[in-house]
Amino acid sequence: MSWQVVAYDLFSVLIYPGIIFLVALALFYQWVDRRVYARAQNRYGPHHTGPRGLLQPLADLIKLLAKEDIEPSAVDKMIFRAAPILLLTLVFTALFMVPISGTSAIVSFEGDLIFLIFIMTLFAILAFLAGWGSTNRFSLVGGMRAALQTLGYEVPLAVSLIGPAILAGTLSVSNIVAWQAAEGFWSILLNPLGFGIAIIGIIAIIEVVPFDIPEAETEIVAGWQTEFSGRKLGLLRLAHDLELVFVSGLVVALFLGGPTGPIPLIPGIIWFIIKTVIIVFIIGFIRAQFARFRIDQMVSGSWKYLVPLSILQIIILQLYLMI
Amino acid sequence: MATLNRENKIVDSLKEKFGQNLLEIKIQKPRRIFATVLSSALKDTISFLKDNFSINHISTISGVDMGKEIGVYYHLMGNKVEGYDNEIVFSLKVTTPKSDPKLPTITTIIPGAELYEREIYDMFGVVIEGHPDPRTLVLPDGWPEDVFPLRKEWKVDDIKAKIEKVGGDGS
Amino acid sequence: MSDSTFTIPIGPQHPALKEPEHITVTIDGEYVVDVKVRLGYVHRGGEKAFEARTYTQGLYLVERICGICAMAHQLCYANNVEGLLGITPPRRADFIRTIIAELERVHSHLLWVGIAGHEIGWDTLFMYTWRDRELVLDLMELATGNRVTHATNAIGGVRRDLTPDMINQILKGMRHLEERVKYYAKAVPAERTVMKRAVGVGILKPQEAVDLCAVGPTLRASGIKRDIRKDDPYSAYDETPFDIITNDGCDVAARVLVRVGELFESLKILDYCIEHLPSGPIRVRVPINVPPAENVSIVEAPRGEDIHYGKSNGTDKPERYKVRAPTLANWASVPTMLKGGYVADLPITLAAIDPCMSCTDRIAIIDIGKRKKWVGSTDQLRRHIKKCHGK
């Protein structure tokens, strides 16, 4: 391997479209999300730090990183310290498999879609572990709810994500994007139901209203995050924003053609940002429109409506392929 | 001005029913009746009012320090007749000696009185016999047991001095 | 207690509670098994303090019992002292009191609708209603000079007259509010997630509500027609036409609907009072010393009946002044509403009685003169903190 290849790999992992770029993107999306949410509520949202408040998420992150990190004496230290780092690592791992600047992601192999679905489940398991390790009653209830919520959204989400894979005949996210680019159409056209279910599923993954049940502020303080403070909380927040990039990027890759577009002159990254910002908009609006569900309503509703609908979507796709 | 038909009816039937036990009764103005009964007849009076005049709501229980005795007022409300009509506020007073203040619970008749009875114990030290949940309601834990703040002999400074001596920590 | 249950403490500091109280909830999974309420965290020694103050000073102390129902408490106090003195305020003062009291109800109910939305995670509703509530506060400021502690009442009347200009402004503001309230009345029940969280939650059956002596919208949402404004009319309510809003739902949704309905009724009352505002003086002079007497006055505060008992002894200070705010009356029914429900329904069920802890707690002792709490020295505080933290 020549040094140029190593340097290129390092550059793409660390800077573009790797860690630094992703963190910047995550903070930008946090800003978009907060602005959309605020405007929908007749507020301004962040508008002071930087141009139009763009630097506010960064300022918040720096503030949290600089704050005192309180570690209660009763916590399970290993889990408690590892949880934010593990979560951040997991999100980065997942993001490397999402095509961001071109049709191919930093890492891609046949079957990485299954791996991504597996990682999404790990998010909830980590949340449960973090809640358990905090030995706080609110954290514990929050962690249990996070695990319980997985039971609700995991199956319909996985089934709906498989839809595009069936169409493209491949289980690699990058290949699905390449197939869409080659075919010249987006799989959402055949997958409208799957797209809707995927949006609902990713809202549950990033735990925002109406599915912020594991961190329901008015019920269980901050849920599984209750005991985290300072640096750890900063990392958790960052991981949350990166999750937003990841889930919106994944939905864009699978349903909206990823970082490609009808006008060839515009680089892929612009397409990616436009499409993901639309997803973030949708999430922000849904967040402003709904009240929080109760955990039992969420799980039973999901099994009653989402699972049959997602299976119906798969059947439609199969019929289409048979014709 | 409104006629006092309902008020008079309540007063008359109470006089007839309780006779000696009813120490005093007066209609202060429309919709306001003040009465004093012996503490032994407290429960009977309240049941009687509830059963016959549907005075079924207790608004609060106030205590008054009257020197040697503690006066306890049960502010009852109700007596809404068919259709739409005003309610009557019936203030029933009993007294109990300050040296050994004791009253029966009325939660068996009106369950909503529970909190007020706890409050009257906190503030005046009136022991409510048979109360289902006799915890303190408003005073902090670690409050000195013999300080009943609304009794006249306890001045604010005395209470403060006492608490600092006991070392209450507000937990 | 079996192994499958454990207790979670809600409060004294908890995001679901805007004010300190402590509720020990025993839960089994997501179900509430038992509820124990501990009050008394914001005691300010109000009742003892009344005995050390003149009647006029008491007027300003009483409205500091609670910021939101300042007018209700002060009105109740003024009614009480006027009853002790045996005077009646001028009719114009009655109407002005009614106008301010109803404006307060509008502001309190709007605030509550927002809080209810926040408790179930719908912050958008919170932001919207609180924005509209600002308008009411502005009107209050215009009419009384203050946004929250209005100090409208004096013993024997009101402190400040309403000018035609103010009345125009209030009318204009009300038209806008009416539109907004109509919008909420349409939007809130139409939002399915809200109804999913509110219907069938926090059930309080009519018989239980009567037995446990619930008051105000909580009681009326259980289908019981009891409203002090009709039952024991004070100020201008004896001639003002309005309906009592009740609902047979007995749940949180019913409490929402009752409050939204009452918003319309309040606007109706405001309309009537402004239209029929009589002319004349707004205040009569009253003696400083109050002859020995006793009096019970009741006012329908936004949260329910607010009852004051006053006993005078011939001096300028009361012998005894007792305040019972509506929230205390509703606490008795809270365990009944919560038991058997979900943990997730706790905040909204609690919020549905519109608890106001400052109202509830008013009796313990602090030395107001020196502004020093009875807790004592900082050493004691430090010892306490150490004890809490174990080692």
Q: What is the pLDDT of residues A148-171, one digit of tens each?
A: 888 888 889 988 888 888 888 888
| Chain segment C100-143, per-residue pLDDT in tens | 889 888 988 888 888 888 877 788 888 888 888 888 888 888 88
pLDDT for residue C381 is more than 50: no
Q: How confident is the model at residue C362 (pLDDT cuts 50, 70, 90)?
A: very low
Exposure on the CB side of residue C96, measured as CA atoms within 13 A: 30
Instruction: Flag whether residue C73 sits within 8 Å of chain A, measured between CB atoms.
Output: no
Contact B114 C332 (CB under 8 A): yes
Q: Is residue A131 part of a domain?
A: yes
Chain B closest-CA separation from residue C35 CA (Å): 13
Q: Which amino acid is at C305?
A: E
214-233 in chain C: CB under 8 A from chain B: 214, 225-226, 230-233
Query: Do C and B share at least 3 CB pairs under 8 Å?
Result: yes
Q: How confident is the model at residue B81 (pLDDT cuts 50, 70, 90)?
A: low
| d(C-alpha B58, C-alpha B89), whole Å | 9
| Chain segment A189-223, per-residue pLDDT in tens | 788 888 899 998 888 888 887 887 777 776 677 77
B90 burial type by CB count under 10 A (0-12 exposed, 13-18 middle, 19+ buried): buried
Contact B58 C39 (CB under 8 A): no
Contact indicator for C119, C355 with CB cutoff of 8 Å: no
Q: Is residue A128 part of a domain?
A: yes
| Chain segment A117-141, per-residue pLDDT in tens | 888 888 888 888 888 888 877 788 7
**pLDDT-wise least confident of A167-181, C4-18, C116-130:** C4-18
Chain B closest-CA separation from residue C197 CA (Å): 28
Query: Do A and B share at least 3 CB pairs under 8 Å?
Result: no
Contact C391 A289 (CB under 8 A): no
Please name the residue of chain A whose CA is at the shortest distance from the CA of residue C349.
A219
Helix (H, G, I), strand (E, B) or coil at A286: helix
pLDDT for residue A64 is more than 50: yes
| pLDDT at residue B169, as a whole number | 47
pLDDT for residue C346 is more than 50: yes
Q: Which amino acid is at B37?
A: V
| d(C-alpha A316, C-alpha C280), whole Å | 79
| d(C-alpha C162, C-alpha C16), whole Å | 39
Contact C364 B138 (CB under 8 A): yes
If phi > 0 it is left, if psi is from -120 to 50 it is alpha, else beta; for residue A53 that is: left
Cis peptide before B140 (omega within 30 of 0): no
Contact B89 C298 (CB under 8 A): yes
Contact A210 C119 (CB under 8 A): no
pLDDT for residue B133 is more than 60: yes
For chain C, give every domain's residue range.
67-304
Q: Which amino acid is at B145?
A: E
Contacts of B163 in chain C (CB under 8 A): 374, 376
Mutation site, B50, B150, B151, interface C, largest C CB count within 10 A: B150
C67-304: CATH superfamily: Cytochrome-c3 Hydrogenase, chain B (1.10.645.10)
B5-137: CATH superfamily: NADH:ubiquinone oxidoreductase Nqo5 subunit (3.30.460.80)
**pLDDT-wise least confident of A20-29, A198-207, B122-131, C343-352:** C343-352
**pLDDT-wise least confident of A122-126, A220-224, B65-69, C162-166:** A220-224
Helical pair A19-40 and A268-289, crossing angle rounded to 10 deg: 40
B138 burial type by CB count under 10 A (0-12 exposed, 13-18 middle, 19+ buried): buried
Contact indicator for A286, A293 with CB cutoff of 8 Å: no
Instruction: Flag whether residue C388 sits within 8 Å of chain A, measured between CB atoms.
Output: no
Mutation site, B57, B117, B155, interface C, largest C CB count within 10 A: B57
Q: Within 10 Å of residue A46's Cβ, how many Cβ atoms?
A: 19
pLDDT for residue C367 is more than 80: no
3-state class percentages of chain C: helix first, strand second, coil last, to nearest 5: 50, 15, 40
Task: Report which listed range, B66-70, B143-147, C361-365, is most confident.
Answer: B66-70
| d(C-alpha C362, C-alpha C368), whole Å | 13
For chain B, give every domain's residue range.
5-137, 139-171
Contact indicator for A187, A255 with CB cutoff of 8 Å: yes
Instruction: Flag whether residue C187 sits within 8 Å of chain A, measured between CB atoms.
Output: no
B66-71: long-range pairs with CB below 8 Å, 24+: B66/B95, B67/B98, B67/B152, B68/B97, B68/B98, B69/B95, B69/B96, B69/B97, B69/B98, B70/B95, B70/B96, B70/B97, B70/B98, B70/B101, B70/B124, B70/B126, B70/B151, B71/B95
Instruction: Flag whether residue C186 sits within 8 Å of chain A, measured between CB atoms.
Output: no
Contact indicator for C249, C212 with CB cutoff of 8 Å: no
For CA atoms C175, C178, C184, C185, the dihedral sign is negative
Cis peptide before C281 (omega within 30 of 0): no
pLDDT for residue C375 is more than 50: no
Contacts of C342 in chain A (CB under 8 A): 294-296
Token digits for C3?
């192994």
Burial letters C293-320, b for 16+ CB under 10 A, else e:
ebbbbbbbbbbbbbbbbbbbeeeebbbb
Contact A221 C14 (CB under 8 A): yes
| d(C-alpha A252, C-alpha A256), whole Å | 5
Chain B closest-CA separation from residue C115 CA (Å): 26
Contact A291 C15 (CB under 8 A): no
| d(C-alpha B45, C-alpha B93), whole Å | 11
* Nearest CA-CA partner of A87 in A115, A118, A60, A125: A125
Q: Which helix (H) or strand (E) holds A167?
A: helix A137-168
Contact indicator for C25, C8 with CB cutoff of 8 Å: yes
Instruction: Flag whether residue A141 sits within 8 Å of chain C, measured between CB atoms.
Output: yes
Chain C closest-CA separation from residue B110 CA (Å): 6
Q: Chains touching chain C at 3 or more Cβ pairs under 8 angstroms?
A: A, B
Contact C196 A289 (CB under 8 A): no
| d(C-alpha C376, C-alpha A44), whole Å | 44
73-92 in chain A: CB under 8 A from chain C: 73
| pLDDT at residue C358, as a whole number | 57
Contact B64 C320 (CB under 8 A): yes
What's the rounded mean pLDDT across residues A235-257? 88
Termini Cα distance of chain B: 54
For CA atoms A218, A220, A224, A227, the dihedral sign is positive
